[in-house]
Structures are given as C-alpha cells and as structure tokens.
C-alpha cells in the first residue's frame, strides 16, 4: 500500500478541507451549494437572515438568556465580567475581542460580538461598581397552600366568627358564680377559683392563636399568674404587685425568646403570644386586689351577661339584652352586698369588658377546644380590671 494519505477522488482531502492548518485560508469546495451558508453570519453587511440575526447588536431578548459571566454589572443588556476575569472573546468591561479569538461558524453569539467589537458605553462612561443583587426565594406556581381557618371559611362563604355557644357560656357562668361566692367568704377562698380561671386563660390564649402544644409558654404564663397571686397576698392585696409581676414577666419572656433557636418570625410570634397570655393571666388577679363586694357584684353580672349573650338572638339584640341583664344582676347583687344602686353601673361596666372577651374568643374560626378554654375564661379575665377600677371608684 502507498504511504500517501488518502486523497479521495480528484485529489480531494475531506479532513484537510474540514480542518485546515492554522493560518491557511479556508478553501470551499465548489460542488457544495450549502457550504457558504454557515459563513454568512460573519459578514459585516446586512444579509438575508435579518430575522434570525440582527446586523448591529444583539437584542435584549437574546442577551436575557446568556449565561452569567461572573459578579459584574449590567450594561445595555450585557453583563460585564468581574475585574480580573477574562473569557474567550471578552477582555475587561469594554468587551474587546482578545487576540487569537476565533468565532465558531454558525454560532449566533459569536457573530453578534464580531459585529460589535467594542461596547458603546465603554468610551462614554466608566462602569459603576458592581453591587450585590438581592436574593429571592424560589418561584412558586400555586402559591402558599397553608391558609388560616378564617380564610378558608371566607372562601367557602362561611363566617370566620363563631361564638362559643351555650355550653361554654354555662361553664363561664358557673365559674363566675364560684368567684362571687368565694369573694363573699374571703380572699383566701377566692384564690381557688381564681387559680382555675388563670390556668384556663393561659391555655386558651395559646390555642386561640393556633399555637398548640405550647407547654413552656403556658407554664410560663401560669407561673406569672401564681406569682402575682402570692405577691398580692404577701403585700396586703396592693395592686402594685400586679404591675411589678407583669413587668418582670415581660422581661423574662423577652430574654427566653431571645435565647430560642427558632426563626425570627416564629420567635416574634411566640413572644407576642406569651406576653399576651401572661398579661391576661396576671391581670385576672385583679379580682384578688379588688374589694370583696365589688368582686361579688361584677362576677355575678358577667355570669348573667354571658348566659343571655348565648341565646339564639340577632347580635345587636343579644348584646343589648346582655347589658341590660348584667345591669339588673349588678343591682340585685349590690342590694344584697350593700353596694346599692352603684352595683348596676359596676355590673354594666364588667359586662362590657366580658362581651369584648367573648368576641375575641369567637374570632378566627376557632375550634371546640378554643370554645371550652378561651371561650370560658376570656370574658371573666377581661372583666377583672373593670371590677377593680369601678369598685374603687364607686366605693
């Protein structure tokens, strides 16, 4: 066999024609009508492929899908490479072509940069300092699937406000009558139903906010309530003990939440829920700071108001009837305790605060457990400040 390489027919070497040596001019075979089409994109003039390749500069739609060239600034649809970064065909922010750069035939980006060897902004102004771009989370198609019960109720055409009902109202009335009777006996007898009220208040508030189980938060709020009770009994039922305990417990809750390893949003949510629960449980100790007759009148008025509010009546009529019934019950209890006609005003004021607590326990489409905890305790806990203040004001 001959040592000469295969020349094909008529001296044609297919390998030499496809891969010519560096520096040799490329020779196009005359019998291939499609061979010159791959070199049309290197022409400086406007070709017949104007819809495929722009003649001057690449469009923004094309450059939007270019891969990232590093942490650089964006100029006119191009992303400049970072200082010290050099890629084939790119040398610094001016986008000048590096020596020895060869354009791949038929590559649209190579032809585009060949037509615009220097970026127009390179001579007009100095490129700005690259700035860190904000980081965003992954894109979602369906959105957040977790919605609250209130949002689901609105989407289904139902009201997100559901009142506790007759059974929780009966428990509230029973607990109110226990407070009224124990207050007539003495402060130490009042502690027993008061501790039960404070425990249900702490647990019900966390469940009302959708945080369950929250044993540490409930225990912390209940411990604050017990501390307030002990401080009141030790200080001769001075109301300053309530304020002091409340301030200490807010600071303690803040310190404990700062030591948590949860997410910032969860820590803030837990901080607000714990502070509110502890505040309600501690403020309920106002029954222990108030006068015994005022506690008897106020607790009896709250018991009657909640029972009337649970009757199947329209909301405006139910609220009006509850306030009138509370005023009548306060007047009757005032006559029995020697408070007189001021008992009606005290009973009406306590009933207003109790109805506010009842409304709060009905919010955000609560569950049955919420109704039997927050729905039972919040009316009485919210009425404690009114009982103390009106009892002191009315004598």
Determine what percent of the chain is predicted with pLDDT higher than 70: 61
Cβ atoms of 306 and 319 within 8 Å: the answer is no
Q: Return the axis-axis angle of helices 264-283 and 240-258, rounded to nearest 10°.
A: 160
Distance CA 379, CA 374 (A): 8
221-275 tens-digit pLDDT:
999 999 999 999 999 888 899 999 999 999 999 888 888 777 878 888 888 989 9
Determine what percent of the chain is predicted with pLDDT higher than 90: 42
The pLDDT of 268-286, averaged and rounded, is 92
59-115 tens-digit pLDDT:
554 444 455 444 444 444 444 444 444 444 444 444 444 444 444 444 444 444 444
The pTM assigned to this predicted structure is: 0.61
Tokens of 218: 């409930």
**In this model, does residue 211 exceed pLDDT 80?**
no
Q: What is the pLDDT of residue 38?
A: 53
């Amino acid at each position: 066999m001959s040592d000469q390489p295969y020349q094909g027919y008529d001296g044609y070497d297919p390998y030499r024609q496809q891969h010519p040596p560096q520096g040799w001019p490329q020779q196009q075979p005359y019998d291939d009508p499609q061979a010159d089409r791959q070199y049309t994109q290197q022409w400086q003039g406007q070709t017949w492929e104007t819809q495929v390749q722009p003649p001057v500069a690449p469009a923004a739609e094309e450059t939007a899908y270019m891969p990232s060239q590093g942490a650089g600034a964006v100029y006119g649809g191009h992303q400049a490479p970072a200082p010290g970064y050099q890629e084939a065909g790119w040398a610094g922010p001016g986008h000048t072509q590096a020596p020895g750069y060869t354009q791949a035939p038929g590559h649209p980006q190579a032809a585009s940069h060949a037509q615009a060897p220097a970026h127009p902004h390179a001579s007009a102004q100095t490129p700005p300092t690259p700035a860190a771009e904000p980081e965003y989370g992954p894109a979602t198609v369906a959105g957040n699937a977790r919605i609250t019960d209130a949002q689901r109720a609105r989407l289904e055409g139902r009201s997100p406000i559901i009142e506790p009902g007759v059974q929780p109202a009966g428990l509230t009335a029973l607990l109110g009558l226990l407070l009224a009777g124990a207050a007539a006996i003495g402060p130490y007898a009042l502690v027993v139903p008061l501790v039960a009220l404070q425990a249900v208040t702490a647990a019900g508030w966390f469940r009302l906010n959708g945080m369950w189980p929250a044993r540490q938060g409930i225990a912390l709020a209940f411990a604050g309530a017990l501390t307030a009770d002990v401080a009141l009994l030790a200080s001769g039922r001075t109301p300053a003990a309530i304020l002091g305990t409340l301030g200490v417990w807010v600071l303690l809750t803040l310190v404990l939440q700062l030591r948590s390893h949860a997410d910032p949003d969860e820590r803030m949510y837990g901080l607000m829920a714990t502070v509110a629960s502890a505040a309600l449980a501690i403020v309920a100790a106002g029954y222990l700071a108030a006068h015994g007759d005022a506690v008897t009148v106020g607790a009896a008025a709250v018991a009657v108001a909640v029972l009337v509010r649970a009757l199947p009546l329209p909301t405006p009529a139910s609220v009006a009837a509850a306030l009138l019934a509370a005023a009548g019950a306060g007047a009757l209890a005032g006559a029995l305790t020697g408070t007189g006609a001021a008992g009606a005003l005290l009973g009406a004021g306590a009933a207003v605060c109790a109805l506010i607590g009842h409304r709060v326990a009905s919010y955000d489409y609560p569950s049955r457990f919420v109704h039997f905890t927050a729905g039972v305790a919040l009316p009485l806990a919210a009425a404690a400040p009114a009982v103390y203040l009106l009892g002191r004001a009315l004598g």
